Structure 1
Amino acid sequence: MRLPPLKSLQVFLAAAQQQSFKCAAEQLHVTQAAVSQQIRLLERFFDTPLFDRENNQTRLNAKGQLLFPYIEKAFEQMTLGVNAVISEPNPFSLRISALHSVTSLLLVPKISDFQQQNPDLNVQFSPNNKLDLFQGDGVDIAIRRGLGQYPGLESHKLIDDAIVLVASPLLLSTIKQELNAIFSLPLLEDISSDIQEAITACCSTFGINKAQLHIKLSTTDALPIVQQALAGQGIAFVSKVLVKQYIKQGQLVNVLDYAYDNPRTLYLVAPPHHFLWPKVKRFEKWLRAAFAAL
């Protein structure tokens, strides 16, 4: 198969992304003339222009736009391949990405134990829910809540989970613990789809009109919901993993012993070769033990 020169394709990618030969030259640390030369070589190879050049401006034409996503994807895959072969880039730093709730409620309170066991590692947290972060954010491993299906990434299931109805015992002590009284309390509502499924199922189970629930707070972030529940501000449907320690300590009560089986749970997620790194292996082993002790 006859292919154009790799160097010309690299220059094309930079020029297409920057929409400027000058900016591409600066990015590649070459002259603008060198960029123009490589683009001309590529255009001769295809026997067609790839850029429109007008008034000192360059932009992809129709043929260039057709080519661009293929070349961009090809270089992304080559970068991943190179990274998979080379050794661990930062063996003394572990950067973890996780949801705000998982970071604050599960990781931060326990991470000192991991650091004591691994004093050579500098642990950093990057709380967010993105999955494109492995392209350039320096993240080594991510913890995500879902079904474990993340295209192009490997996922390791950490724990089974359920959604439970919880409240502070101080709040429950102010009412008669009857159905109508419980469901008349303020609801700290997580509007995530799986939590909404649990609320609907609970209302159906106990014969409650969901539309009559008294919503005090609505968010997709479980952290403020758990914090408000601990403060006695309302009842809440939350991931059991996030609150299991508080139930065990008596700070929260599993109201009506209600639990909704949920296929979504926590996974370790990363490019496959990250799981081969010693620091990631150490973190996964420690995390599994920490979750088993919840």
Structure 2
Amino acid sequence: MSDRLPPLTALRAFEAAARHMSFAKAAEELNVTPAALSFQIKSLEEHLGQQVFHRLNRAVELTEAGRALAPGTRDGFDALNAAWRATQRLQDDTTLTITAGPALTAKWLAPRLYEFARAHPEIDLRFSTTLRVVDLERDGVDVAIRFGQGEDDGLYSIAARKEWMIPVMTPELAEQFPTPESLTKAPLLFDESIRFLDPPCDWPMWFRAAGINFEPTRGSHFSNADHAIDAAVAGVGVVLGRRPMIIKDVLEGRLCMPFKLAIETDARFRFICLQGAETRPKIAAFRDWFLAEIEKTAHISDGLTIINTKDIPAHVS
């Protein structure tokens, strides 16, 4: 048995057949005839000196050798494909692929994108709105905008301002609930998308910061922040809104912040890309625009009392 690797075409044929557990489906994927694919696998077996498939009447099964070989070939071709896509992206200075959460995209990014598009007509933006943690290299994504705590090891990451939350409601509801104490009787809306924060940044924490002994349990719960904000705009109730999610509705008068007490979390939105990619013109342009846009509306914090959740007592005296 030779230590030399078999031909790449033979390994590719094996990987596809092992993934599909079908010579016919693998041949279709690789755009070859089943006979040609079978020949490639046979040559791999001759090179290895043992079979990698049991050929049954209407199916195939991996042998012990095939089961040992399959994970490595799959990972190897995944890595090759990722490297090829990454190399191709280096030649593309006109397309920028960005991933961000659905709520940030809907409430903050989308309403502002015309500004970036006007300043950079040479860049075509492509968005993937998902909360799934992507692999920038494997998934062909240039930039990720993510919210949370912790570090982004091995990546270029720059954090935006700390985030705060504050009660927001329609002006009509604000007339009905004019004091923090009156909110104990208000219909409260719960944004469940930030339950992962530690310490929590939620209604019980806000009431404790306000010196009110109240642990709300009833109300409408939303898994997406933008849905909770939309419900507040519709007058359904009062939501503890995150700054970037509420800013457009507040500035345009659909929502108001009648109480000047906000609670702050150490979690941040971060601009993330592969290490070294931050110098590429299209990525640097979007980073600079992203950070500048945040600063444009920093004045919304003026006049607020902002208390970090770490400084809020566990109980109201």
Q: Is 1:225 aligned with 2:228? A: yes
- Alpha-carbon distance, 1:14 to partner: 1.3
1:190 alignment counterpart:
191
- Alpha-carbon distance, 1:109 to partner: 1.4
Q: Which amino acid aligns with 1:221?
A: N
- In 2, are the aligned partners of 1:198 and 1:237 still within 8 Å (CA)? no
Structure 1, 10-19 or 37-46: larger mean CA deviation = 37-46
Distance 1:125 1:148 in 2: 24
Distance 1:49 1:186 in 2: 68
Distance 1:285 1:52 in 2: 57
Alpha-carbon distance change, 73 to 258 in structure 1, aligned in 2, over 3 angstroms: farther
Distance 1:260 1:49 in 2: 64
Q: Which amino acid aligns with 1:73?
A: D
- Alpha-carbon distance, 1:290 to partner: 0.8
Distance 1:204 1:45 in 2: 71
Alpha-carbon distance change, 3 to 131 in structure 1, aligned in 2, over 3 angstroms: farther
Q: Is 1:4 aligned with 2:5? A: yes
Q: Please give the per-residue CA displacement for 1:258-289, whole angstroms capped at 9, x wherever unaligned.
A: 43332332223344465454222211111111
Q: Which amino acid aligns with 2:172?
A: L
- Alpha-carbon distance, 1:223 to partner: 0.8
2:145 to 143, 156, 168: 143
Q: Is 1:238 aligned with 2:241? A: yes
- In 2, are the aligned partners of 1:171 and 1:233 still within 8 Å (CA)? no
- Alpha-carbon distance, 1:251 to partner: 4.4
- Alpha-carbon distance, 1:189 to partner: 1.0
Q: Is 1:103 aligned with 2:105? A: yes
Question: What is the CA RMSD across the aligned residues, in angstroms?
Answer: 3.1
- In 1, are the aligned partners of 2:107 and 2:248 still within 8 Å (CA)? no
Please list, as runs of the form range in 1=range in 2, the aligned pairs for 1:64-143 lying within 5 A after superposition. Answer: 64-86=66-88, 88-132=90-134, 139-143=141-145
- In 2, are the aligned partners of 1:4 and 1:42 still within 8 Å (CA)? no
1:57 alignment counterpart:
59
Secondary structure, aligned partner of 2:29: helix
Distance 1:219 1:178 in 2: 22
Structure 1, 250-259 or 12-21: larger mean CA deviation = 250-259
1:286 alignment counterpart:
289
Alpha-carbon distance change, 190 to 60 in structure 1, aligned in 2, over 3 angstroms: farther
- In 2, are the aligned partners of 1:160 and 1:265 still within 8 Å (CA)? yes
Q: Which amino acid aligns with 1:53?
A: R
- In 2, are the aligned partners of 1:9 and 1:42 still within 8 Å (CA)? yes
Secondary structure, aligned partner of 2:93: coil
Distance 2:61 2:229 in 1: 50
- Alpha-carbon distance, 1:45 to partner: 4.2
Identity of aligned residues (%): 25
Q: Which amino acid aligns with 1:198?
A: C
Q: Please give the per-residue CA displacement for 1:170-189, whole angstroms capped at 9, x wherever unaligned.
A: 3121134141x212211111
Alpha-carbon distance change, 44 to 157 in structure 1, aligned in 2, over 3 angstroms: farther
The alignment's TM-score, normalised by the length of structure 2, stands at 0.78
The alignment's TM-score, normalised by the length of structure 1, stands at 0.83
Distance 2:172 2:37 in 1: 70
- In 2, are the aligned partners of 1:141 and 1:274 still within 8 Å (CA)? no
- Alpha-carbon distance, 1:141 to partner: 2.5
Q: Any unmatched runs of 5+ in structure 1?
A: none
- Alpha-carbon distance, 1:255 to partner: 5.5
Alpha-carbon distance change, 55 to 123 in structure 1, aligned in 2, over 3 angstroms: same
2:205 alignment counterpart:
201
Structure 1, 190-199 or 281-290: larger mean CA deviation = 190-199
- Alpha-carbon distance, 1:46 to partner: 4.0
- In 2, are the aligned partners of 1:163 and 1:260 still within 8 Å (CA)? yes
- Alpha-carbon distance, 1:194 to partner: 3.7
Distance 1:147 1:28 in 2: 43
2:25 alignment counterpart:
23
- Alpha-carbon distance, 1:154 to partner: 4.6
Structure 1, 186-195 or 147-156: larger mean CA deviation = 147-156
Secondary structure, aligned partner of 2:201: helix
Alpha-carbon distance change, 271 to 70 in structure 1, aligned in 2, over 3 angstroms: farther
Please list, as runs of the form range in 1=range in 2, the aligned pairs for 1:151-162 lying within 5 A after superposition. Answer: 154-162=156-164
Q: Which amino acid aligns with 2:3?
A: R
Alignment coverage as a number of residue pairs: 291
Alpha-carbon distance change, 39 to 272 in structure 1, aligned in 2, over 3 angstroms: farther
Distance 1:62 1:232 in 2: 63
Structure 1, 248-257 or 185-194: larger mean CA deviation = 248-257
Distance 1:185 1:62 in 2: 65
Structure 1, 166-175 or 84-93: larger mean CA deviation = 84-93
